[in-house]
Amino acid sequence: MSDGSRLKRVYWHLGLKDKNADNNSDLPEPAILAQEAIGELEAALAELRGILKELGEEVSI
């Protein structure tokens, strides 16, 4: 798979561009997008753990 094709696939999975779009140069690098997504997911997990704690439930993960 070419680098251009890989970038298109990453952007498509992140919902940023049409998978077949040719010009993705205006978007951040995939690694930056992935790091931002991980940060958002970790924040969401922390919030869910807090909710479970408030409910008196144990977090099994």
pLDDT at 21: 54
User: Bigger pLDDT: 35 or 16?
Assistant: 35
Query: Measured between alpha carbons, how far is 61 from 59 in angstroms, rounded to an integer?
Result: 6
Query: Measured between alpha carbons, how far is 32 from 29 in angstroms, rounded to an integer?
Result: 5
User: What is the residue extent of each domain of the chain?
Assistant: 3-54
Query: Which stretch of 11-15, 33-37, 56-60 has the lowest confidence by average pLDDT?
Result: 11-15
φ and ψ at residue 19, rounded to 5 degrees: -55, -30
Which pTM was predicted?
0.58
Would you give the end-to-end CA distance of the chain in angstroms? 35
Q: What are the tens digits of pLDDT across the range 22-57?
A: 565 677 888 888 899 899 999 999 999 999 999 999
pLDDT at 27: 75
